[in-house]
Structure 1
C-alpha cells in the first residue's frame, strides 16, 4: 500500500486549509479519560512508542521514499482524484518525496512508566516549515497503532498488581510466579495480525507467559530483545481430546503423559465431563502423575471461571464436585503442603489453568475465594484472552492526538479545543507542553515557552528520519516491575 494512504480521507485537503503562512503544527498524544477502563486503571502504562515509530519509519521508507517518485505520486493523485471527485494536485507529496524522509520530531515519555490521565505521552512537530501539514497527516496512523499496545499493557499491569497482592498474602516466597500467572491467550480473537501483535507486545512488556508467537519477532525487531522473550508449555486443545474417544479419555491422558514424560503439560479437561476427570480419572492416574518429572496442569474451558476454579461453596464444606471446585478437588487427590503463611499449595506435580472469559474482576474474585478457602493464589494460572484485550477501544482511555500550537508567518499561536457541548473530556492542553516529574509523579505544564518545551521528561526519540534514545525490552520490564 502506498504510504500516503495511511491516513483519513479528510486529511488529504488539510494542507490547503491551514492559514496562509503556516510553518509549524505541534500536537500531543494524551489519554483523556479512564471512564471506560477497568476499575483500578487510574493511570496508563507508557508503552509502544518505539514500536509504532519504527514501524511507521520502515513503512514510509519501503512504500514511499524508496519507490520512484512518479510511480507513488502519480498513483496517489489518480486515486484521490477519483476519491474526491475532482482533480487532485499532489505537489506537496512530490516535495516530500524529494526530501527523502519524514520531517518530524517525536518526543516521548520513557516506556515502562505509568502516566496519569490527561498527561501527554508523546509530542509530534514538523521540522521543516514547508511540511507543516505532515504532523497531523500522521495523526490517524499514530492513533490507530498507539492506543492498543498502551491499553493492553495498562490492563496487563492491573492483572499483575492483583496477582502480586494475593501472592504476598498467601505465598510470598513464590513471588516470581506472577510473571507467568497471567498468560496471553488472545491472538485468535484479536482484530487481525497487527492487532494481535500490538496487544501481545503490551502484554509481554508486563508478563513472560504468552501463546502469541509473533510477539517474539516483534520484541526482537522493535525492542532489541535478546535471549528469552516469552514462554509457554506443551498443551492440548479440544481437537486432540476429541480425536481420542469419550469412552477412553483416561487413555488419552495416559498417552499424553507418555508423550511428554518431563516438564509442564497442560491438558484441556472439560471436553465432556470435567468433574469425572477430577473425581474418577485423576485418582486412577495419581501415581503416574506423581511419578512424572514435571507438572500436569488441568485446564477447564467452560462455565463461570470463579465457580469452576474455586467451587460454588465459599468454604471447605462442599459435598459435590461443583461445590468444591477444581483446586479443592485436586487437593483432595494429590495433597500438597501448607506454607509458612498457612495456605495450601498443591503438590508440585499438579496444577490448574483457566483461560476463558477472564476479566480483572474475575481474577480478583478467584484469588479472593481461594484465599478464603485456605489456598494460595499461586495454585492457578489465568489465561488472558481477547475478552480482555479486544473488548477495548481507543475510548477505553480516551486517547487522542490534538494540535495545541501552530506557527503562522513567524508568530506562535496557542490553540486548543474546549467544546461547550462536551463534559470536559475533550478539552485539550493549550500551546507548547512540558511534562515534569514531582514526587515521582508525572504532571503536565502547558503554555510553556519554546525553551521550556525543550526541558522536562519528554525526550526526543525520532527526528528527521533518525532514531534517538532507543530502549530495550529488559529496561522496560525492569521499570514496570519496579513500579509494582
Structure 2
C-alpha cells in the first residue's frame, strides 16, 4: 500500500487551504461518547509498526502524482519531495497517547499529534483518515468485549464461579468481518478481556505486534457438516464418534442439526463414558430464540444427568457437561439469558457464549463517536493559538481547544489544556517521532492494565 494514498481524496487539496503563515498544527483524537461511558485504548502500536513507520519512496510520490490528476485533485509533489529529501522518507510527526489498555471515560483525549517540521503542517491532517480508522475499530471491539466481561462477571459473582470468566465469551467472528486484517485487529482486541477464540488471526496479530506468545485458546468442536454428513438416521453415531475421539478432553458439539431435545437425550447416554475419562462435552444449541433454547437445553440436561447446588444456592451441572450458545448473541442477549437462569435458580457456570458479528462487525466509528480535530496552530512552534469547532446546531460536536493533556486521579480522568498541567503527570506519553516508535507495550502488560482499571 502506498502510504501517501492512505488518506481521503479531499485531503490532497488541503495543503493549499491553510493560512500561509501557519507552520505547526496540533490535533487530537477522542471518543465523544456513544454506546458506552468508558473505552479501552488499544491498537495504535500495531498501526505505527505496520504503517506509519513505513518510509515513503520516490516511487510512492510518482504513483500518487499520477493518480491525483485524473482523479480530479492537485498533488503536493514539492511537499512530499521535501519529506523524502530532508527526512529520508520518514514522516516528521510526533504522536503521544495514553497507555494501551487504559480504561478511560469517553470525552477525553486519547491521542495527540503534531508535525515536527515547520514546512509540512498539512501532514497532520493528511494522516487523519488512516490514524482514526486504526484506532476507533480496535477500541470499539475491546470496549464491547470489556462490557460483556463486566456483565458476565457480575452474574458469576452472584450465582457461580468468578474465576471461570476467561473462557465465558468465545470469539466466533472471523468469517463475519470484512477482511483478514479486520479479524486480526478485532480478534486481538477481544483477547485483551478473554482467552477463548476461534479467530486464529487475532492470536497471530497479538503475537506479531504485541509480543504475545499465545493469547488465545480453543478446543476441538464440530460443525453442522461434520454431523449431517452421517445422515439424520445416524446422528447418534456422529455423536458417538465425537465422544470416542475427544471424550478425554474438553470438546464442543453442535446439537441443532435436527431435533435438539433428541440430541440431548443421545448425548446423555454418552456422558458416563466422558465422565469416566475425565472429559467434558460442551453442547451448542444454536437455533431458535436464544433465551428459550439456552434455558431448555440446560434444564433438560439437569433432568437427565442431575445437578448440584453450589454454595450460593444455584444449580450446577456435573463437570462433564456444559452449554455454549453462539447464535444471535450480543451484550443485551447475554444479560437476558443469564438473568433468566438466575431467576430459575441456575448458575451462570453452566453456560458460555460465542459471539461473531456482534463482537467484531456490528460496530462503526459512530458507536463511540470517534473524531480527530485540530485544536491548536502555531507560526513558530512556541506560541500556540487555540482553535476549535463549535457548531451551534449540535453542542455535542464541539471540539476541545488548545494543546491538550490528560491527567488522572485514581479512576478519575480529566482532559485539560497543556498549559494548565502544572505539577500533575500527563498521561499522554510520546510513542512516535519522525518515523521511530518510542514506546512499546506487550500484550500481558495491556491485559494487566485493563484488569486494574
Answer whether TM exceeds 0.5 for this pair: yes
- Matching residue of 2:441: 471
**Alpha-carbon distance in structure 2 between the residues aligned to 1:48 and 1:204:** 12
- Matching residue of 1:406: 377
Deviation at 1:453, TM superposition (A): 11
Contact 1:286 1:333 in 2 (8 A): no
Paired residues for 1:17-28 under 5 Å: 17-28=17-28
Aligned: 1:462 with 2:432: yes
Paired residues for 1:50-69 under 5 Å: 50-58=45-53, 60-61=54-55, 64-65=56-57, 69=58
Contact 1:354 1:381 in 2 (8 A): yes
Paired residues for 1:363-402 under 5 Å: 363-402=334-373
Aligned: 1:431 with 2:420: no
**Alpha-carbon distance in structure 2 between the residues aligned to 1:450 and 1:127:** 22
- Matching residue of 2:62: 74
**Alpha-carbon distance in structure 2 between the residues aligned to 1:451 and 1:416:** 20
TM-score by length of 1: 0.89
**Alpha-carbon distance in structure 1 between the residues aligned to 2:28 and 2:50:** 19
Paired residues for 1:59-458 under 5 Å: 60-61=54-55, 64-65=56-57, 69=58, 71-84=59-72, 88-98=75-85, 99-100=87-88, 101-171=90-160, 174-226=161-213, 228-278=214-264, 280-310=265-295, 325-408=296-379, 411-422=383-394, 424-446=395-417, 448-449=418-419, 456-458=426-428
Q: Residue by residue, what CA displacement relative to the aligned partner does 1:340-371 show, whole Å, maximum 9, x if unpaired?
A: 11111111111110111111111111111111
TM-score by length of 2: 0.95
**Alpha-carbon distance in structure 2 between the residues aligned to 1:136 and 1:454:** 29
Query: Structure 1 residues 372, 128: CA separation in 2 closer, same or farther (over 3 Å shift)?
Result: same
Deviation at 1:286, TM superposition (A): 3.4
Contact 1:108 1:460 in 2 (8 A): yes
Deviation at 1:384, TM superposition (A): 1.4
1:235 match: secondary structure: coil
Deviation at 1:455, TM superposition (A): 5.1
Contact 1:432 1:453 in 2 (8 A): no
Deviation at 1:450, TM superposition (A): 9.2
2:109 match: secondary structure: coil
Deviation at 1:141, TM superposition (A): 0.4
Q: Residue by residue, what CA displacement relative to the aligned partner does 1:278-319 show, whole Å, maximum 9, x if unpaired?
A: 2x3123323233333310111011111111112xxxxxxxxx
Structure 2 residue runs of 5 or longer lacking an equivalent are none
Bigger drift between 396-405 and 409-418 goes to 409-418
Deviation at 1:231, TM superposition (A): 0.4
1:271 match: secondary structure: coil
- Matching residue of 1:315: none
**Alpha-carbon distance in structure 2 between the residues aligned to 1:286 and 1:415:** 68
Structure 1 residue runs of 5 or longer lacking an equivalent are 311-324
Deviation at 1:265, TM superposition (A): 1.2
**Alpha-carbon distance in structure 2 between the residues aligned to 1:47 and 1:17:** 33
Q: Residue by residue, what CA displacement relative to the aligned partner does 1:422-470 show, whole Å, maximum 9, x if unpaired?
A: 2x22100001111111242111113x43986995111111111222221
Deviation at 1:113, TM superposition (A): 1.8
1:443 match: secondary structure: strand
**Alpha-carbon distance in structure 1 between the residues aligned to 2:83 and 2:72:** 21
Bigger drift between 344-353 and 455-464 goes to 455-464
2:23 match: secondary structure: strand
Contact 1:308 1:326 in 2 (8 A): yes
2:266 match: secondary structure: helix
**Alpha-carbon distance in structure 1 between the residues aligned to 2:424 and 2:78:** 33
**Alpha-carbon distance in structure 1 between the residues aligned to 2:252 and 2:358:** 21
**Alpha-carbon distance in structure 2 between the residues aligned to 1:399 and 1:195:** 18
1:425 match: secondary structure: helix
Query: Structure 1 residues 222, 118: CA separation in 2 closer, same or farther (over 3 Å shift)?
Result: same
**Alpha-carbon distance in structure 1 between the residues aligned to 2:357 and 2:421:** 44
**Alpha-carbon distance in structure 2 between the residues aligned to 1:370 and 1:89:** 62
Deviation at 1:176, TM superposition (A): 2.2
Contact 1:21 1:409 in 2 (8 A): no
**Alpha-carbon distance in structure 2 between the residues aligned to 1:460 and 1:441:** 22
Contact 2:206 2:443 in 1 (8 A): yes
Contact 2:184 2:203 in 1 (8 A): no
